[in-house]
Structure 1
Amino acid sequence: MPRTPRRLAALLLAGVTLTSLAACATAEPEPTSPPPVESATDEPIFASDEEALAAAVAAYQSYTKVNTQLSADPNIDVGRLREVATESHAAETIESLGSLRESGVRTTGEVTLRGFRLAEVTDDGTTVGIRMYACNELSQYRLIDAAGKDITPIDRADAVTFLVSLEGNTSELLVSATEPWSGSSVC
C-alpha cells in the first residue's frame, strides 16, 4: 500500500515512532519480572528498580526529543537516531522518517511524556534490559503538509500509552522498541 501523507500522519501521531504502530493489533499480557539472574559479580547494574526506571525515563526522553526534532525539520540528519536507539530500531525509524519527508509532511509542537511505570528489568550484571510504560501526550503535536495545512487526524487520541523497551548499561541505555499498549493505560 502506498504511503500517503494522511496515512503517515496517522502513524506518526499515534506515538512519534511510525513503525511501532503495527503492534497495535493485539495486546500482549503485561510483562512480569523474571527471576533474578546471577552474574559473575552478582551485583546488579542498577541498585534499585527506581534507579533503573529513572535511567530509562531519561533515555526515552532523549529519544523522543530527537525523534520529534527529526520529524519537524527535514534538514536534520536522521543519523542522530543512532545516538538514542539501537541500530535495528534506528533503521526502522529512519526508513519511516524518510517516507514522511518524501511526502512533504512535517510536525510541529512537542510530545509530552508522563505516567512512567516500570514493567520489567532484566540484568545479567553486564547488560540490562528495561521495559516501561509511558504516556505520550500528543495534544500539542500536529502534522503539517507541504502546503502548510494542518492534516492532524481529527479523531486521533490526545494521549497514548506505550510499552518502551531499552537495552544497555548504566552509561548508555538505548531505545530498542516502542509499541502502543492497549492494556491498562498510564495516561
Structure 2
Amino acid sequence: MLLIVATLSGCSANPTPSDTASPIADATAAPTETAPVFSSNEEALAAAKAAYANYAALSDDVMRSAPAPKDFTKVSASVSEAYLPQVVQALDSFSTAGHIGKGASSFDSIALIRYSDSPYGLAEVEVYMCSDVSGLRLLDASGADVTPAQRIDRVPLQVRFVSSVGSPSTLLVDKEDVWSGRDFC
C-alpha cells in the first residue's frame, strides 16, 4: 500500500541497485546415518525369540483364564497395531466357544530369515519357527478334555516382527503364517 501511495503522489525514493552478487548457499547439516537397532543378526534373532516367548505366554494366560477376559490389553502390548485385530478375534473366538486352556504352548527351531532397519530407526525381523501346542489341552466348561484327536501339535511358522515405535529394540509380533513349504518341524 505504501508503494502505491508513493507512486501516485509522484514521490519515490531513488531505486537501489540490485544485488548482483551470487547467492551463498545456506549451510546444511550432512545427512546422518541411523545406527542399526541390533548390532548383529544374532542379537535380532534373540530379540525375536524373547518377543515371541512373551507373546506366547500372554496368549496362554488368556486361554487359561476362566471366565475369558474381554480386555486383551496385556496381549496388545506384544503385537503390532496392524496385527492386533486378528489376535483379538482368535482369542475371542476361543473364549466364546467356552474353551479353557490347560498347560502351555512352546516353540523351537527358530531361524532367522532376514533382519533389516528402516531409515526411521526401526527394525523388521522375520523368522522360521516351530510352534508346539502338544503341552496345551483344551477343556470345556465342565473340565472335560475336548482337544481334537487329529490336532497337529507342531506347526511350521513364518513370523514377522516390527519394532515398537517407543522402543525400537523391543519387537512386536506383526504376522504369523503357517509355512507352506516343506515341513521343517
Scaled by the length of structure 1, what TM-score is found?
0.73
Determine helix, strand or coil for the equivalent of 1:52: helix
Deviations 1:23-54 (Å, cap 9, x if unpaired)?
xxxxxxxxxxxxxxxx9415322111111101
Q: What is the CA distance between 1:123 and its match in structure 2?
A: 1.1
Question: Could you say if the C-alpha distance between residues 171 and 42 of structure 1 is closer, same or farther in structure 2, counting changes exceeding 3 Å?
Answer: closer
CA distance in 1, matches of 2:176, 2:129: 10
Structure 1 position 58 matched with structure 2 position 50: yes
C-alpha contact (below 8 Å) 1:45/1:170 kept by paired residues: yes
Q: Is 2:179 the partner of 1:181?
A: yes
| Residues 30-179 of structure 1 mapped to structure 2, 5 A cutoff | 40-41=32-33, 43-73=35-65, 74-75=68-69, 77-125=71-119, 126-168=121-163, 170-179=168-177
Contact (CA 8 Å) 1:46, 1:170: kept in 2 or not? Answer: no
Give the paired residue count.
149
In structure 1, what residue type is equivalent to 2:177?
E
How far off its partner does 1:185 sit?
3.5
Aligned-partner SS, 2:91: helix
Evaluate the alpha carbon distance shift between residue 87 and residue 42 of structure 1 in structure 2; reply closer, same or farther with a 3 A threshold: closer
Partner Cα separation in structure 2 for residue 88 and residue 121 of structure 1 = 19
Q: Distance in 2 between matches of 1:155 and 1:75?
A: 28
Highest RCO, 1 vs 2 (Cα 8 Å, sep ≥ 6): 1
Unaligned stretches of 5+ residues in structure 1: 1-38
Query: How far apart are residue 80 of structure 1 and its match?
Result: 1.1
Task: Give TM-score, length-normalised by structure 2.
Answer: 0.74
Match of 2:17 in 1: none
Look up the match of 1:8: none
1:42 & 1:88 partners in 2: Cα distance? 25
Shift of 1:166: 0.4
- Offset, 1:171: 3.2
Partner letter of residue 46 of structure 2? A
Deviations 1:107-131 (A, max 9, x none): 1111121110001112125111111
Among all aligned residue pairs of Structure 1 and Structure 2, give the percentage whose two residues are the same amino acid.
30
Higher helix share: 1
Q: Is contact 1:133–1:186 with CA below 8 Å preserved after alignment? A: no
Once superposed, which parts of structure 1, at least 4 consecutive aligned residues long, lie more than 6 Å away? none
